[in-house]
């Protein structure tokens, strides 16, 4: 499919905005994807020869899922003609989203000040593991999602008590950075449209991991209460966790709040409004005789029913509960089908259909759409550069010197 701006359909809430995205793996690409799904023109600048890890992983769908609707400019933008083309492109850009080691853009001579000299309205999002400022030893550290989880005090929360900690999956450090970058650059655009002045965001992934830990940091800082690893059951409430059922499949349930207890406990054969569980109780505290009774009743209940049957009985009586679905079950589930959670789109070869997750959330008046699959490497080079007015001779020279690249990168199996 042609990649000229004039060929991009007008749709969604962000039509008319241009975003330049540079970054591999998850954090920056998914932030750009959120723009692309909602109608923005997203130009993915990737290295001509160093292929994105999302492309090279064997039978990986990450680039197909999280780079759709984008245009690809495969160009070395760090020096000479490539650097000047990059700055010229930013003159036409609303938002720049990049992910790299902290301070990298300053070292390349592409500081915020330099970028704003070319486009004072530019909104810039820098995503890094440890931030753009601080102790140099940390600012200069390489990082991936699990490193942000480890340094941000999250990884120690995951896993079973007494067992080695494990990273939470899939990639909360990366996706949290994506959502922050998307949301705050949109906020910056609102302010820019009011003031005419751009903004720069310093998104340190370990800080974002710290920020999404609910009450636990404050509990420690104020009361000295540290987090205790829970595993798959609450350390506070009985009937709050994962349980195996008759068929070997699992459910997760929460006996939490008076209404749930009142309707849910009788399903388990437990009376509500007694001396052990007084009326008005919000939960059954662990390490109490009532908790022992509740846990024993749940074990007996789950041994009698399949996960699907247990889920149906509990939810029918107001208990928050769900089976732990796998992908096959999700694809065939009537609610998934009713909301069209899965869809297909046409890949870069123009014929192969790629299955994956649809655009979410649902938008009523200006919905997003998938108008093209993820681009091959550099497939939009000429369209983008010609639109910027770059002479054909310069384009040819950049190809000859390896500063531009083009390559089919599509797996059909």
* Catalytic (active-site) positions: 174
Phi/psi for 106 (5° steps) reads -60, -45
Specify the length of the chain in residues: 413
Q: What is the distance between the alpha carbons of residues 199 and 150, in angstroms, rounded to a whole number? A: 29
Distance CA 199, CA 357 (A): 32
CB 267 within 8 A of CB 319: yes
Distances (CA, A) of 46 to 21, 239, 321, 327, 349: 9, 49, 44, 31, 19
Question: Which is nearest to 387 in space by CA: 88, 72, 22?
Answer: 88
Separation CA 28–CA 100 (nearest Å): 9
Q: How far apart are CA 312 and CA 318, in angstroms?
A: 10
Q: CA–CA separation, 185 vs 192, rounded Å?
A: 10
d(CA 131, CA 407): 33
Helix pair 392-400, 80-90: axis angle to 10 deg: 130
* Cis peptide upstream of residue 70 (ω within 30 degrees of 0): no
Residue 18: beta bridge partners? 41
């Amino acid at each position: 499919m042609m990649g000229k701006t004039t060929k991009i359909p007008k749709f969604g809430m962000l039509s008319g905005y241009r975003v330049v995205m540079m970054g591999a793996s998850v954090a920056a690409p998914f932030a750009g994807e959120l723009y692309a799904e909602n109608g923005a023109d997203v130009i993915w600048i990737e290295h001509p020869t160093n292929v994105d890890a999302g492309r090279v992983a064997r039978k990986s769908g990450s680039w197909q899922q999280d780079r759709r609707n984008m245009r690809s400019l495969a160009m070395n933008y760090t020096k000479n003609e490539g650097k000047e083309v990059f700055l010229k492109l930013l003159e036409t850009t609303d938002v720049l989203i990049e992910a790299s080691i902290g301070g990298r853009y300053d070292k390349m001579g592409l500081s915020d000040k330099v970028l704003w000299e070319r486009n004072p309205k530019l909104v810039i999002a820098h995503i890094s593991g440890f931030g753009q400022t601080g102790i140099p030893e940390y600012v200069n550290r390489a990082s991936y999602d699990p490193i942000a989880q480890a340094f941000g005090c999250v990884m120690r929360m995951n896993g079973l008590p007494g067992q080695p900690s494990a990273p939470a999956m899939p990639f909360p450090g990366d996706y949290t950075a994506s959502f922050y970058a998307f949301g705050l650059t949109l906020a910056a655009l609102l302010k820019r449209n009011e003031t005419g002045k751009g903004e720069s965001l310093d998104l340190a992934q370990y800080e974002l991991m710290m920020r999404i830990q609910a009450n636990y940091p404050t509990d420690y800082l104020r009361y000295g209460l540290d987090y205790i690893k829970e595993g798959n059951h609450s350390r506070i409430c009985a009937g709050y966790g994962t349980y195996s059922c008759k068929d070997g499949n699992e459910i997760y349930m929460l006996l939490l709040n008076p209404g749930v207890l009142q309707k849910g406990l009788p399903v388990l054969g437990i009376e509500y409004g007694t001396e052990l569980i007084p009326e008005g109780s919000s939960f059954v505290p662990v390490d109490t005789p009532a908790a022992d009774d509740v846990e024993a009743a749940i074990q007996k209940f789950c041994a009698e029913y399949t996960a699907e049957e247990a889920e149906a009985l509990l939810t029918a009586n107001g208990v928050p509960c769900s089976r732990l679905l796998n992908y096959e079950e999700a694809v065939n589930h009537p609610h998934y089908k009713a909301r069209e959670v899965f869809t297909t789109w046409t890949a870069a070869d123009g014929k192969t259909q790629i299955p994956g997750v649809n655009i979410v959330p649902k938008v009523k008046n200006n919905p997003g759409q998938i108008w093209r699959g993820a681009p091959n490497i550099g497939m939009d080079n000429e369209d983008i550069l010609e639109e910027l007015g770059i002479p054909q001779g310069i384009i040819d020279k950049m190809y000859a010197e390896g500063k531009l690249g083009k390559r089919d990168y599509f797996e059909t199996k």
